[in-house]
Structure 1
Amino acid sequence: MNLHRRLARHQRGQSMVEFCIVVPLFLFLLLLILQMVLIYRAKSTLDYATFQAARTGAVNGADPKQMRDRLATGLVPLWTHSPDLGGVAAARAKTETEVLLGHATLEVISPTKQMWNQFRERQYDGRLALPNDTLQYRNRAINAQTNVHIQDANVLRIKAQYDFPLIVPFVDRVIVGASRLLSEGPDTRLRRDLISGRYRLPLVSSAEVRMQSPVYEQNNLR
């Protein structure tokens, strides 16, 4: 009996120590899972918004303004907190602000200005454009300067980036620290929002569709 009493005295407080170790770790894992779910949701939303922007560009001569507007519309679900018209309007205003502040960007990868110069033709209205009609009957010879033929030049490829804010407390600091530790040289992946003070994780998506209209404006391309 004396032995059991001595062992019980030595083990007194052990449960509290285990509690102090396990519970913070468990809470951190819950917060980490929550942040990962939010990032996955944002990436899925960005993928669909990028595809919709590419479709808009395909029928509007690769107009970057219309593609950015469509990208902003596609990001509305990320900021919609109520299903009524007021909530949707507020979310739309928020995404437009994100675009204006440069947190959501879009870049046309292809076609390029060089492709436009190589394959441009005068259209029925007398304007020069990258043609989109009767592609199946056109010459498939590869241009020596652009290394593509006219069918490839009519494939619209875009890349969109959205700097998603890390909103889960404590986990954001851990992600920032891990990013700095794993990065070589200055860390450019995580950016700090000067207005909110939150760190933002750049999410990148790309889309590729066949052009459905001629490209009149060379300045729409890079």
Structure 2
Amino acid sequence: MYEYADKRRMTGQAMTEFLIVAPLLLFFGFATVQFVLLYQAKSTLDVAVLEAAREGAVNHGSMRAMQAGLARGLAPLYARHADASGVQSAMLAARSAVTKASSIAIISPTAAMTRDFARTRFYPDEGAAHEEIPNDTLMYRDTSPGAESDVNVQDANLLKLRVHYCFDLVVPLVNKIMYYATNVIGNVAANGLFSREPADANVDAYGSPRRPDSLCRTTLVDGWQSQRWPIALESEAIVRMQSPFRADAANDAATVTAR
């Protein structure tokens, strides 16, 4: 009889311990899935930025071409079906993300490099002239540094990009916690992150973040409805120009950041 009672107590104790540990194990399982997806997104972004830089290198630094290359590289993140329609849908989603949820910054060549080395060249086939940084016979050109940029024409032919991309966190619960932690959103309501809105939601729909990201942010109402909370990822790539860099080509699209 006593042995039966001891077994019942042990069973009850095990059940209590399980009820305490199970939510934590479930949360860490969700967090693991989200971090795996985040790692996959960062790896895909690294390849996509290199693809964008290569497109720019052969298209005179065209921002439109770099956006197309970035979208092509990001398309695997949006692929849901392995058929022609799935590829088309992924490309459309990736192009939308490039336009609405990313920015491409041209770190090099800078405006100072363009002023130092750009020359006017007339193209008979086009019937037009372009201001561009020479790209031919670089090994024989003057290696003196420019007056403003303090680099030579060889270094001015290096195309360096930095891409800021908003990746949607989709794993329930973990996505909101990571979004709040990244943006340092405080003043939450009494029941914490499980509440609908922070205590100061009437003051700032974004939750009054202390470290806001102007591109990768969402109103808390929209986040609750979509259950997607964006987090910023950044990647850089550098390649040598394979065509003369043109400042006007670098500004042929809307979302442009140049230095």
Structure 2 length-normalised TM? 0.76
| Candidates 218, 237, 241, aligned match of 1:192 | 218
Q: Does 1:120 align with 2:115?
A: no
Q: Partner of 1:136: helix, strand, or coil? A: helix
Which deviations, in whole Å up to 9, do the C-alpha atoms of 1:22-73 show, x marking residues without a partner? 2111111111110001000000111001001000100100000110011011
| Candidates 125, 136, 139, aligned match of 1:136 | 139
Runs of 4+ more than 6 Å apart: none
Q: Partner of 1:191: helix, strand, or coil? A: coil
Q: Which stretch shifts more, 54-63 or 143-152?
A: 143-152
Q: Does 1:161 align with 2:160?
A: no
2:109 alignment partner AA: P
- Contact residue 116 and residue 218 of structure 1 kept, 8 A: no
Q: Does 1:202 align with 2:232?
A: yes
2:181 alignment partner AA: A
Q: Partner of 1:163: helix, strand, or coil? A: strand
- Contact residue 41 and residue 167 of structure 2 kept, 8 A: yes
Question: Which residues of structure 1 form unaligned runs of 5+?
Answer: none
Q: Partner of 1:75: helix, strand, or coil? A: helix
Superposition deviation, residue 158 in structure 1: 0.5
Map residues 101-120 of structure 1 onto 2, 5 A cutoff: 101=100, 103-120=101-118
Q: Which stretch shifts more, 135-144 or 174-183?
A: 174-183
* Partner Cα distance (1:181, 1:73) in 2: 33
* Partner Cα distance (2:236, 2:66) in 1: 13
Which deviations, in whole Å up to 9, do the C-alpha atoms of 1:166-187 show, x marking residues without a partner? 100011122134335599x712
Question: Which residues of structure 2 form unaligned runs of 5+?
Answer: 124-128, 187-208, 252-257
Q: CA RMSD in A?
A: 2.4
* Partner Cα distance (2:158, 2:45) in 1: 21
Distance 1:142 1:33, change over 3 A: same
Q: Partner of 1:192: helix, strand, or coil? A: coil
Structure 2 counterpart of 1:21: 20
Structure 1 length-normalised TM? 0.88
Superposition deviation, residue 7 in structure 1: 5.5
Structure 1 counterpart of 2:154: 151
